[in-house]
Structure 1
Amino acid sequence: MNVPTHPPIDKHTAAGGGSRTGPGHTGPSRTGPGSALGRLARVCYRRRWLVLPLWIVGAAAVLFVGFRFAAAADNDFSGGGSGSGRAQAVLEQHFPGETGDTLTLAVRADAGVRDPSVRPRVQAMLDRLGQAPDLSVAGSPYDVPGQISTDGRTAFATVRSTQTEIPVSTTEDLMAAARSASGQGVTFALGGDSVTTVETPYGGPSEGFGALAAMIVILISFGSLLAMGLPLLTALFGIGTGLAGVELLGHLLPAPSFTPVVSSLIGLGVGIDYALFIVTRYRESLHDGADPEEATVTAISTAGRSVLFAGSTVVIAMMGLFVMQQKLLNATAVAASVTVLMTMVTAITLLPALLGFTGRNIDRLRLPYLGRTATRSPLAERWARTIQRRPITGLVVGAVVMLTLAVPALSMRLSFEDSSTAPHTTMAYTSHRLLSQGFGAGYDAPLVVVADLPAGGAAAGNGANPGGGSDQPDRSALAPVARAVAGTAGVAAVTPVRTSTDGQAAEFIAFPATGTQDAATPALVHRLRDTVIPRASAGTGLRVYVGGPNAGIIDFADAVSTRLPWLVAVVIGLSLLLLLVLVRSVVIAVKAALMTLLSTGAAYGVLTAVVQWGWLGHVLGFPQGMPITTWVPLFIFPILFGLSTDYEVFLISRIREEYDAGHSTAEAVARGLSHTARVITAAAAIMVLVFLTVLLGNDMAVKQFGLGLAVAVLLDATVVRMVLVPALMELLGAANWWLPRWLARLLPSA
């Protein structure tokens, strides 16, 4: 089909944006060989014998230092001004040595734990636990009331550590001892965070499978081993140096254990994508007759510019997590941003040098039936024209699909994974199962109720000290609160009130009748805080807080639910400004934000249906229905916003190039899509496969994260990019490029 190269100018001026050299122009002054990126590409190309060794030596040094002096992880999401944070502060002040990591020993004996043949075995196991470094058994179940079930077959004991985290080696030794001691009608099982960490560690082989999947996709897309290797090599340099920097950064900004997984997944995805975009443009320029140096300069000046904007959007989106006011989330956001920044740097400095070594051999080492040099996709162009002929149908069908998938997200609940959500083959789950069978589902989700004790005179108004004037704390002041909590529906049991050694605080533990993942447990915590405890402590002068790990999970989920809208608003606002600078169109920038919200909502909906409702859950490795892990939706949104901008920037930049070359909007969309569909499809396929590989692991939160992002990217690259965007741009016509003149004067040149 012959297309005129210079349609009438009035198709553009109808948008109110002036001529193609007006406010919306993105001409060669910013993207050509003479641009800053073009000059950088030329230097890296010509000095490739210097650039490559510098990268190798520098990367080796950073990797050695980063991983040799890596900071320890910090998984404490409590603290701050929440109820659990204040409870933790009281415990640390008045119950020193009791706020470290803990283990729970669960015992199940068919003959009963009091049987003469069983009791010595239980005691021997307790002695073994107490002999471990920095550990002590809080009390034998034979001595502490309430630690043997009513049927006498189940018992538990708490093991306390003086350390924040029990070492992995210690946990592994104790787990091995528990397995050895089990048998002949008696089962021992250990539970706790340290056991979960050992059995379901973050990371694993998924990154390797992700890289292998990326290799296959690029090979199918390019058909050349050499063209396949360049994006992978570039991405690995960026990811490796970025992760090493993240490990060092942990000394200043302690980050949770899942940070390296999040950073590596993002880095692997965007790193390969960015290099893929540039290599694709390089091959296209070669095939159009440019020599290798000019092809490199063109690729970096155009696709490299898109990479910088796309990567900057990812960074801005990640930094939006600071809105959550959670120090550990802040640390993860910075860590992921560092990894993305390093992939951007490698893409515009290392890759030009590698292209210099490759030259015209980029398509060498082709595989049979896969080698293809054409960069334009006639199929994508025909598809775009089909959508353009029926834009309303495409828009309605696409929107209905996305909104339907988003519906389950309206019922999404947030929590953290615990032993009840662990794979059923693990010891952590066995411990949970034994405790649930013997004592009820809430016995591994205790609530710690703690209070600063008032001086005796402080309770005088309540009749506690009629004489008034004693300066000693009223040690019985918490007893009425304990009785009120024990009588609350949903509370299975309450331990006796215990006073601190300094006499300034008291605490007791309330065991819910429901587990951590049950919606009734957060409701119980709110009821205790809002109604039961205030009434029971009225006039006593007590400051009573509900804390413990379970309450901390609930507080964190509440904080996320409250601040998530602010996160969305901040990320969209900042990203809109960046997109305005790049595409110089208000309409396209707003459309990009709306499309990302659609993709996010659909991803949340699919995630809720699979993980929480259990649809296909067993097939995808989720053994039971569970709430969504609290940090997962927090990271899915900014990451998806950044990743979807990759495709938006790459597609719209190419459409804008075609438009500025003189084509109408409809023709520019069709031609732009034909030039970018193959690489966008390949990039999306890489992302989806990389994210889906985490389903091979055992950690439920990481599996949720991978599934959510895979669904989001798949929908964004297909329904959004291939249906909704062409349909909307066809309907909007020349209005796509609308940019008020006053705003054009304010925006900096990209």
Structure 2
Amino acid sequence: MPKAPDGPRRRGVLRPLGAWCARHFVLVIVAWLVALVGIQVLQRAYGGDYSDNFTLPGTQSQRGSEVVTAHEPKAGGYSSQVVLHDARPLTGFGDQIADAVGALRKLPDVLTVQSPLPPPGRPPTPPPPGTPNVGPLSTDGRTAYLTVRFSVPPSTLDPDYLNGVDRAVQPLRSAGVQVEYGGPLGERARPRPDDRVSEAIGFGVAVLVLLAGFGSVLAAGVPLLTALIGVICGLGVLGLIAAAFTFATVSPTLATMIGLGVGIDYALFLITRHRQNIMDGIDPVTAATTRLTNHLTDDVLPRAVRGTDAHGYVTGATAAQVDFLDIVAARLPLIIAVVVGLAFLIILIVFRGVLVAVKAAVLNVLSIAASYGVVVAVFQWGWGGPALGVSGTVPIESYVPMMMFAIIFGLSMDCEIFLLSRVHEAWLRTGDAEASVAHALEITARVITCAALIMVSVFAAFIVSDTVVVKMLGLGLAVSVLIDATVVRLLLVPAVLTLLGRSAWWTPRWLDRLLPQLSPEGTADAP
């Protein structure tokens, strides 16, 4: 028989809190309903707006922007393009282009407007021989763009502002010229994405999976209801925090996607354990441009100002994105190391097995690495992109790997602890390592499968979103959960534990004495 850890188990606060909530369930339900209504009222009264405008204090792109704003305001700002195309040379529409330029300059928050045409009487300047044409007017003269610089990010402009832009370019459209908006102005003109279809699909699949898994309308409804309340409260709190901090416009969609999937998943684990406790007789109350920018920052500008007191900066949206990418890339290894290290330590403290902790950390990273590969293949290499509504190749957003790692690792550890708890219980009771793994797999496989189906369905439903970042996260999270719940959790983990046998739960005596005594579910005699 395995030796139980020495010393008393430390009593945590969660078990007494859960027992108190169970005894006073009416009060707890009323408190949550009051919180739900109160948060919504506060959010409507004091909530902030979501914005894609952000700053990176201390970076060279931000310092460059501040220098430009202080000394030449009209040269800074936020640029967008008004793209023109016609079957005939656009030089024949000089009057209409001039009228559009003049009307755009009169709009609020417009700093400058650059016409693509040369001054009257002067022919377009061709590019040097052997070099591509990168000017605002194409070589055949049939495509061009106006560069409009705004004093504020176009994404923050009122939707009615586009009506003024439409009126300014109306002479060109009346003449038959095709006019489209590019850059941030084009993003502002794009219809706001409606993710209600994704949410409905994920919620509907969750209902079917829970009904099939529990065979009870009440037991299936509780995870859905608690997840829905959690999402609504979370969105309200997010709106309140947005009054003080900047959150991207995609934040509510990501919060809904993660909240539904994770909320249902956690509730499913709790209800399953609750039902198991009842069955056992226990009282229930008791997650090319970059290189150019770096070349300008590291090589071109230093050479240009060498020997002078001047300082050179590369600023603008692209430079800010490169700085943000550099910050994320520099901190991602540290984040991964800290999270994996803490997970290893927690598993070691709770289950008292060095090899179990190593196995958990390695296999959880495996599912994350596999999901990274799928996201790169689909979006960066273009494999199957058109089937998901992605035309061509798309670069991976810089913060997507970090978000995927945080979310996926958390979900993987939840499933890991859920499975290991049952294995450890059987091991302490019987001392038979192989039989303990088989017993734990028998009683947890259906729950893990149901939880995975729900999360995969919720995450995959967001692949139909029109926002590319949401597509990336939806696909990456869905693939990772699928791999983790099948290949890792129900195949590799049991296989590795069976091969390790008794050695899986080995811990040196000196280390066992140093580690605190913790139980994942508290002591059995807790009130």
* TM band (smaller chain): 0.7 to 0.9
- CA shift in 2, pair 1:100/1:524, >3 Å: closer
- Superposed counterparts of 1:477-488, under 5 Å: none
Aligned position for 2:84: 107
- State the Cα RMSD in Å: 2.7
- Superposed counterparts of 1:10-409, under 5 Å: 12=2, 19-22=3-6, 36-76=13-53, 78-96=55-73, 99-115=76-92, 118-142=93-117, 147-165=136-154, 166-174=156-164, 177=167, 182=173, 185-199=176-190, 201=192, 204-205=195-196, 206-289=198-281, 294-297=283-286
Following the alignment from structure 2 to structure 1, what is the Cα–Cα distance between the partners of residues 378 and 144? 35
- CA shift in 2, pair 1:225/1:600, >3 Å: same
Shift of 1:250: 2.5
- Superposed counterparts of 1:645-664, under 5 Å: 645-664=413-432
Shift of 1:53: 1.4
1:523-582 Cα deviation digits (max 9, x unpaired):
333333333333333223331122221222223223333332112111112222333333
Aligned position for 1:611: 379
SS in 2 for 1:182: helix
1:126-168 Cα deviation digits (max 9, x unpaired):
4553444333542344467854334322232222333344424
SS in 2 for 1:661: helix
SS in 1 for 2:382: coil
Residue 660 of structure 1 aligns with an amino acid whose one-letter code is L
Following the alignment from structure 2 to structure 1, what is the Cα–Cα distance between the partners of residues 35 and 211? 29
Contact 1:200/1:699 (8 A) holds in 2: no
Contact 1:132/1:170 (8 A) holds in 2: no
Residue 644 (str. 1) matches residue 412 (str. 2): yes
Contact 2:43/2:240 (8 A) holds in 1: yes
Following the alignment from structure 2 to structure 1, what is the Cα–Cα distance between the partners of residues 164 and 418? 54
- CA shift in 2, pair 1:99/1:70, >3 Å: farther
Following the alignment from structure 1 to structure 2, what is the Cα–Cα distance between the partners of residues 541 and 93? 18
1:260-286 Cα deviation digits (max 9, x unpaired):
233222221211111111112223334
Following the alignment from structure 1 to structure 2, what is the Cα–Cα distance between the partners of residues 693 and 179? 39
- CA shift in 2, pair 1:229/1:521, >3 Å: same
Contact 1:525/1:546 (8 A) holds in 2: yes
Following the alignment from structure 2 to structure 1, what is the Cα–Cα distance between the partners of residues 252 and 347? 29
* Number of equivalenced pairs: 501
Residue 129 of structure 1 aligns with an amino acid whose one-letter code is L
Following the alignment from structure 1 to structure 2, what is the Cα–Cα distance between the partners of residues 103 and 269? 37
Residue 265 of structure 1 aligns with an amino acid whose one-letter code is M
Aligned position for 1:695: 463
Residue 161 of structure 1 aligns with an amino acid whose one-letter code is F
Following the alignment from structure 1 to structure 2, what is the Cα–Cα distance between the partners of residues 688 and 227? 20
Contact 1:148/1:154 (8 A) holds in 2: yes
Residue 522 (str. 1) matches residue 290 (str. 2): yes
Following the alignment from structure 1 to structure 2, what is the Cα–Cα distance between the partners of residues 128 and 210? 47
Residue 677 (str. 1) matches residue 441 (str. 2): no
SS in 1 for 2:466: coil
Following the alignment from structure 2 to structure 1, what is the Cα–Cα distance between the partners of residues 199 and 298? 45
Contact 1:687/1:710 (8 A) holds in 2: yes
Contact 1:171/1:195 (8 A) holds in 2: no
SS in 2 for 1:544: coil
Shift of 1:174: 5.0
Residue 597 (str. 1) matches residue 376 (str. 2): no
Contact 1:175/1:189 (8 A) holds in 2: no
Contact 2:372/2:476 (8 A) holds in 1: yes
Shift of 1:60: 0.7
What is the TM-score with the length of structure 1 in the denominator? 0.62
Following the alignment from structure 1 to structure 2, what is the Cα–Cα distance between the partners of residues 173 and 220? 51
Aligned position for 1:631: 399
1:217-245 Cα deviation digits (max 9, x unpaired):
21221222221110011111222212211
1:592-615 Cα deviation digits (max 9, x unpaired):
111111111111111111111111
Contact 1:695/1:703 (8 A) holds in 2: yes
| Equivalent position to 2:302, from 534, 542, 546 | 534
Contact 1:138/1:157 (8 A) holds in 2: yes
Contact 1:171/1:194 (8 A) holds in 2: no
- CA shift in 2, pair 1:538/1:638, >3 Å: same
Residue 148 of structure 1 aligns with an amino acid whose one-letter code is L
Contact 2:202/2:461 (8 A) holds in 1: yes
Following the alignment from structure 1 to structure 2, what is the Cα–Cα distance between the partners of residues 68 and 213? 34
Following the alignment from structure 2 to structure 1, what is the Cα–Cα distance between the partners of residues 44 and 209? 30
SS in 2 for 1:156: strand
